[in-house]
């Protein structure tokens, strides 16, 4: 089959999805997966709770960030929905009025699950580098791990790996320490 016969995805394809399905457009193709399972949701919500107070609200931390759960990011020709993303307020001083973000995040976190790990690692991770996301975290709630990466010369540099109940203090949120075990059920 030639590439010309493959239908280019549109935003309407995402709008038409059932409520229990997350849709993204990556390289003009619609990618879908079910809403996160409970373990995935707990890890994502717990991490957001760890970061919002010190980094978004400035309580016990430096402030200066927007931290958002499952933001819809319209970046170049792609529509991406990371599990968590953060923007430095100096780069995005005004919170958008739209239902989506068109500024590349400074930090993205993907919570890996069996249905999304291949897409997150093989497709989205290099795409985040190409788009210029400065920091990427990959969290696996089944293995109880966090891998942290920083963008260097358009490539990811692994800056830390954490497991089980280790204390985490790493860029871009190195001013705050939390126990990785606080993300698990």
Instruction: Sketch out the chain's domains with CATH numbers.
Output: 36-71+81-183 (3.90.1570.10)
Question: pLDDT at position 1, please?
Answer: 42
For 176, phi then psi, to 5°, come to -125, 135
**Per-residue pLDDT averaged across 11-15, rounded?**
95
Give this prediction's pTM.
Answer: 0.94
User: Residues 70-79, buried b or exposed e (16+ Cβ, 10 A)?
Assistant: ebbbbbeebb
**Per-residue pLDDT averaged across 144-151, rounded?**
98
- List all residues 6 or more positions away from 178 whose beta carbon is below 8 Å from its beta carbon: 50, 167, 168
Longest dimension (CA), the chain: 57
> Per-residue confidence at 2, pLDDT binned at 50, 70, 90?
very low
User: pLDDT tens digit string along 98-142?
Assistant: 999 999 999 999 999 988 999 999 999 999 999 999 999 999 999
Q: How far apart are CA 24 and CA 141, in angstroms?
A: 22
Question: pLDDT at position 35, please?
Answer: 87
């Amino acid at each position: 089959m030639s590439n010309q016969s493959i239908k280019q995805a549109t935003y309407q394809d995402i709008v038409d999805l059932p409520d229990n399905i997350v849709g993204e457009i990556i390289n003009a193709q619609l990618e879908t997966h079910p809403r996160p399972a409970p373990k995935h949701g707990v890890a994502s919500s717990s991490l957001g709770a760890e970061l919002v107070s010190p980094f978004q609200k400035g309580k016990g931390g430096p402030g200066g960030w927007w931290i958002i759960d499952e933001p819809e990011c319209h970046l170049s020709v792609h529509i991406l929905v990371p599990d968590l993303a953060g923007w430095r307020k100096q780069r995005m001083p005004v919170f958008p009025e739209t239902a989506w973000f068109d500024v590349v995040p400074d930090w993205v976190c993907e919570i890996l699950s069996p249905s999304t790990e291949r897409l997150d690692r093989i497709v989205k991770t290099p795409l985040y580098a190409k788009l210029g996301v400065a920091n990427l975290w990959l969290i696996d709630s089944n293995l109880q791990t966090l891998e942290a990466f920083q963008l260097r010369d358009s490539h990811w540099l692994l800056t830390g790996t954490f497991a089980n109940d280790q204390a985490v203090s790493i860029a871009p949120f190195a001013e705050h320490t939390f126990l990785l075990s606080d993300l698990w059920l």
